[in-house]
Amino acid sequence: MGSNEKPCRNCEALRAQLEQKEAIVDKYQKIVQSQNELLQDLTQKSPYTSGSSRKQSENFGHFGTSSSYDLNNKVTAVTAPKTRGKQVSKSCRAFIGSITDGIDKETLKKCLEDAFGAVENIDMIPSKACAFADFATQTAYHAAVSEGAVCFCSAKTLNNSTQLQPDSEKFNSLSKNKKKLVLKNSLHHSITLSKFSSFYSSQYGKDRWQNLFKSLQNPTRYCALINKFTSPKHIQSFLSTTPNLEQVSFLDLPCYVSSERFKQPEKDENGILNYYLLDAASIMVVKALDLNVNDVILDLCAAPGGKSLVILQYLLSSIIHNNNDFSMNYGGFLTSNDPSPNRCRRLKQVITDYIPPSLQHHIKILSLDLSLSLPTYDKILVDAPCSAERHLLNSPNEFSKWKPSRSKIMSQKQYKMLLDAVKGIHVGGLLVYVTCSINKFENEEVVKKILKNSWVPLEEVKSEWIIGEPCEKGWIILPDKCDGWGPLYFAILKRVGEGEFRKKEKRTFRRFNADKNIENDDYEE
C-alpha cells in the first residue's frame, strides 16, 4: 500500500477490536492484582493465620486462581485449595465481605449453619469489615457460594427482620429448605440495598442521603382535598366531625391534614364524594400549569386521576354553585389519557365519583398510546412513569427487581414520551414534566436533553415555590426537608416558536475498493 493510500476499513475495524480486547485484559489483570494485595493484607492480620509464612501458605493456598468477583470489583469469595504435596483440613474457607453495623460472630455463624451446613470457625476482621468462615464440608461451602452468602447481610437487616432473627420462633419453626430460602432472599435484599444506597449517595452525598433514605421509608403523607362540587352542607359536616384538622397553608385550594387517620370519603345527596386524598406536592404540580378557565388541557398519564381532579378544580372555577344547580359562563376542556386499560378504569371511576354529570362534558377520558403531531393543547401535563423509589422501598417484591441500569431504561422511555408531547403544545403554551423519582437521570437530565435536541423551540420557565428546592433544571420536593411531602420533581417548559422538523443528515463514507484500487464517494448510510 502506497504512502498516499488509505488503509482498508476492515483492517481498521479489526485493529480497533484488538485494542479493545487488550484494554479489557489489562483491566482485569489489574483487578486480580488488587485482589491479591487485599487478600495478602487480610491474611497477615487474620488471627487464623498468625503463624509463619509457610503456615499461611498451607492454610490459604494460591488465592489468585480461586477468587470470584462482584460488580464493584471486590473480592466476594476465596476458597482454600490444596497445597502441593500436602493434604489440608477438610474445612473450606470462604471470604465474607460487606459485614457492617457490628454483626456479632455467633449470629453470623448460626445463620450460616441454619442455611448451609456446619461451620467450624468464624474469624472476624472488624478493621476490614469482613470475616473468614471455615465450612466443615465442601457441600456446605459450595451451597453458601451458590446462594450468595459471600455477600452477607448487615446486622441491621438481621435485627429488624423477624424472619431472620435466629432466636425467633417463626424462623426456628421453618424447615431447613425454607430457612435457606428466607436467608437467600434476605441476602439478595441486602446486596440490592447496598447497591441502591451507593447509587443515590453518589448523587446526593453521604450525609444528605442518610436523612433522605430514612424519610423515604416512612409512610406517604396525604392531605384531604375538599371537592368543590360537593354540597356546602356536606363539606361543613366533614370539617366539623373530623378531629384535629389543620389547613395546608401553602396551597390555594382547601386541603387539610389531620393527626388522625382519615375515614372513607362520603357521598352527598347528589352522590358526589366530599374529599380526595393525595400528596400536597401533586397540587403544586398542577398549580405550575398556570391554568386559565378557557384552557384546553391534556393530562397524558392521568391514572389514577388525582391530578386530573385537581385540574378540574382550577379549570371549572367559574362555576356558580346555587342550590345544587351547576351553571357556568364557559369552561375549558380536559383530555385525560392513560394507555393502561386497567388504570384507565380507575380514572373513569374517580371522575364519576367526584364530578357531577352536568359537568362531565368538560372532560374526555382516553386509553390510548397517544402520538401527538400537531399543536392542539394550551397546557400539557406529563406525569411520566418513573422508578418511584419511595414505593420501591415499601414494596419488597418490587425492590428486589431494582438494578442500577433501571434508571437508564426509564429515562429513555421518558425522553421519547416528552419528545412526542412537546409537539402537541400551541406556541406560548406550557408543558409540565413530572416524576415521583429522586433520580437525577430521570429528572433534570431528561429535561436538559429535550431542551437540547427537540426541534420544537422550548425554554424553561423558572419559578420559586414555597416548599422544595431548585435543581439544575426544574424543582424538586423531597420529604426530608419538606415535612414528609414528596418526593416529586417537576419542570415547566414553554413553547416559544413554530420550529421546523429537521431530518437527520445522511452521512457519506469514502469506501476503498481493494479490487480496482479506487475510492467511491457514493456510499450513503
Q: What is the pLDDT of residues 128-156, one digit of tens each?
A: 566 778 888 877 777 776 555 544 333 33
Can you spell out the DSSP letters for 177-209?
HHHHHHHHHHHHHHHHHHHHHHHHHHHH-HHHH
- Please compute the mean of the pLDDT values over residues 184-213 and round it to a whole number: 87
Q: What is the pLDDT of residues 498-519, one digit of tens each?
A: 876 554 444 444 444 444 444 4
- Which residues are known binding-site members for S-adenosyl-L-methionine? 301-307, 338, 383
Given this model, what pLDDT does residue 12 score?
77
Q: Is residue 447 over pLDDT 60?
A: yes
> Does 344 qualify as catalytic in the annotation?
no
Bridge partners of 78, per DSSP, are 67
Average model confidence (pLDDT) across the chain? 77
- Please compute the mean of the pLDDT values over residues 43-69 and round it to a whole number: 37
Element (H, E) at 275: strand 275-278
- Please compute the mean of the pLDDT values over residues 184-205 and round it to a whole number: 84
- Please compute the mean of the pLDDT values over residues 466-486 and round it to a whole number: 96
- Please compute the mean of the pLDDT values over residues 321-326 and round it to a whole number: 46
DSSP letter at 14?
Answer: H
pTM: 0.67
Given this model, what pLDDT does residue 248 score?
96
Q: Is residue 100 over pLDDT 70?
A: no
Given this model, what pLDDT does residue 135 score?
82
| pLDDT band, residue 247 (cuts 50/70/90) | very high
Q: Is residue 99 over pLDDT 60?
A: no
Q: What is the pLDDT of residues 157-180, one digit of tens each?
A: 333 333 344 445 666 777 777 777
Largest CA distance in the chain: 99
Of 514, 511, 509, give the one whose Cα is nearest residue 525: 509
Q: Is residue 5 over pLDDT 80?
A: no
Quote the CA–CA distance of 292 and 284 in Å, as a whole number: 16
Catalytic residue among 92, 436, 471, 482: 436
Q: Are 519 and 510 in contact (CB under 8 A)?
A: yes
- Please compute the mean of the pLDDT values over residues 8-20 and round it to a whole number: 77
Quote the CA–CA distance of 249 and 50 in Å, as a whole number: 66
Q: Are 487 and 479 in contact (CB under 8 A)?
A: yes
Q: What is the pLDDT of residues 365-382, one digit of tens each?
A: 999 888 888 899 999 999
Phi-psi region of 180 (alpha: psi -120 to 50; beta: other; left: phi over 0): alpha
Stronger pLDDT, 61 or 417, i.e. the higher one: 417
Can you spell out the DSSP letters for 314-373?
HHTTT-EEETTEEE-S---EEEEE-S-HHHHHHHHHHHHHHS-GGGGGGEEEE-S-----
Quote the CA–CA distance of 144 and 146 in Å, as a whole number: 6
Given this model, what pLDDT does residue 170 score?
66
